[in-house]
Each structure stands twice: as C-alpha cells, then as structure tokens.
Structure 1
C-alpha cells in the first residue's frame, strides 16, 4: 500500500516475508469478520444478513479459494448493529491508523462535574488494573485479553476527556 496507509507488512502479516501486505490485510479483515459473526451468533447472522451459513463462512475462510471473498458492507452494517462491538469497522479504522472511540457507556445522568469525574476515573483505573492482573496471571496476554484491556483503556480515556472538558468549563 502507499504512503500513509497506517500499517506495515510486518504488523499485519506477522511475518518478515512470504506474504504480501494485501494478503495480510485480507486475513486481518477475515479474522474480524469471523469475530463479528460469532459475536452475533451464526443463526442470528444468517437471519440479519439473509445469507446462508456457508456464505458467511466463506467471508471469513482463510482457504485459498475464498481469499478474494469479503463480507459486503451491508452485511457488516446489519451485524454490527446487533453486535456488542463493531469488529470490522474497528479493524478498518486500525488499518488506516485511525483510533475510534466506541462509547458503550450509557450514563443515568449527564450531571456531575470534576468530583464525579475523579470518582469515575478511579473506578475505571481500578477496572483496567483488574483486567490487567487477570490477563497477565499466566504470563501471556491473549488476543481476547488484549481486546478487553483496550476497551477498558478506551473507557478510561473517555473519563479523562470528560474530566478535561469539565476543567476547561470551570477555567473559563
């Protein structure tokens, strides 16, 4: 890919040679497509997209004969609407070097201020450290553990942003 593509061949393919960047990108997208289907459930995914199990399977198959088959964007949109996390959208953003903030938090009230931000910050940091402690227990952080850590880090980042905005309000 060209300049500014947001990734290197080594980051995507995980190899030093033997696999092109595009094949690495394809595998990366296929893994996230599979995660999306599994998040929703195969039966529900079939219903939502109007596609068969076999067709959905081809979209994330790493078999050579399916290397050029990818999930259409309408299917991605339908599945991500039902999923707990926007797997494919996040993968596409990461490939371009873009960081998305997925705000799953639904607060009961919009109120608060700096004091409630400090409490939320402490709670989020504790949750992040709890996830980290669990993840590193066996000495290895798996992909799923890394995803959980990333979600907690993003939630912590959101609390910090809210805190920054409240501080700027008070400073003016």
Structure 2
C-alpha cells in the first residue's frame, strides 16, 4: 500500500471513532465489518477506501473533518477550520505577533515534554498537533489582518 493509502486509512479510522462505530453504521448504511475494512491496513484490504458519500455523511456529524483535512494535506493545501469561538477578536497585527509568540512557546513546551523520554507517544503527538493547529489559526488571523491593513 502506498504511503498515502495508510495515511488516509488512519484518518478514516479517526473519523469513524470520532462519530462512534454504531452511529457510523447508521449514518453510512454500512456494517461494522465494512467500515473496518475501509481503515484496515491488512494486505487484502489495501485497495478498499471509504466512498466519498460515506465520508461526507460522517464528517457532517464529526467534531473535525478528518478525511477532508488529510486529503488537503496530501495535496499541500491548508484548510481553515475554525470551531473555536473566542470572546475577543484580534485587535491587529501587534496583538497577533504577541499571540503567535505565546502559541509558539506553548508548542515548544509541549514538544520538550513529549521528547523528554526520547519517544513521542500517540497522545503526545495529538497534543502537538493541537498546538500546531492553534498556531496555524493565529497565523491565519495575522494574515487576514495584514491583508486588511494593506488595502
């Protein structure tokens, strides 16, 4: 299986687990075994992937668009997924620079803790991913503010 196949299967599994197996079966009209084949990395299932209509149905109920974001990453596209609702909005580039520095410091702190034993566990990788995504959100707001100021 090519590298992207495993990557997509991993994100398909995350999507099914996010929604829950029973709910995923109901939403897609497929059995547990069929859903399992879509994310199995066994050789006999290496060419089986979840159909796009099933992905759409699950992502409509999930907390995050796992497969869509994985496809975007494989293509080198950055998506903006903003589920966060802040009490205050960015007040400009200066506050964005401060927020960027704070987020980067948090990412480095998380990395330092994660690499302490020489191995980054799955949970540590998930925390690093959350911090990286938060950093990406700050950069996106900064980009939007810069575009507003340059007009």
> Relative to structure 2, which stretch is displaced further, 31-40 or 148-157?
148-157
Q: 2:118 aligns with which of 139, 142, 152?
A: 139
Cα distance in 2, alignment partners of residues 90 and 48 from structure 1: 20
For residue 63 of structure 1, the aligned residue among 14, 38, 42 is 42
Q: 2:3 — aligned with what?
A: 24
| Higher share of residues assigned helix | 2
2:31 matched to 1:52? yes
Could you list the structure 1 runs, at least 4 aligned residues long, displaced by more than 4 angstroms after superposition: 167-172
- The CA deviation string for residues 39-69 of structure 1, in whole angstroms up to 9 with x for no partner, is 2221221122222211111111223332222
Q: Say what the alpha-carbon RMSD is for the aligned residues.
A: 2.7
Supply the distance in 2 between the matched residues of 1:117 and 1:75 (Cα, whole angstroms): 38
Q: Aligned-pair distance for 1:37?
A: 1.0
Residue 111 of structure 1 and its aligned partner are, at CA, apart by 5.7
Residue 19 of structure 1 aligns with which residue? none
Contact 2:110 2:128 in 1 (8 A): yes
Give the TM-score taking structure 2 as reference length. Answer: 0.78
Gapped regions of structure 2 (runs ≥ 5): none
Contact 2:27 2:58 in 1 (8 A): yes
- How many residues are aligned here? 151
> Which structure has the greater CA radius of gyration?
1
Q: Indicate whether 1:93 and 2:78 are aligned.
A: no
Partner of 1:163: 142
Say if 1:149 and 1:166 are closer, same or farther in 2 by CA, change over 3 A.
same
Report SS of the residue matched to 1:99.
coil
Q: Which runs of 5+ in 1 are unaligned?
A: 1-21
For residues 146 and 19 of structure 2, the distance between their equivalents in structure 1, rounded to whole angstroms, comes to 40
- Alpha-carbon distance change, 86 to 115 in structure 1, aligned in 2, over 3 angstroms: same
Contact kept in structure 1, 2:69 and 2:79, CA below 8 Å: yes
Q: What is the TM-score with the length of structure 1 in the denominator? A: 0.70
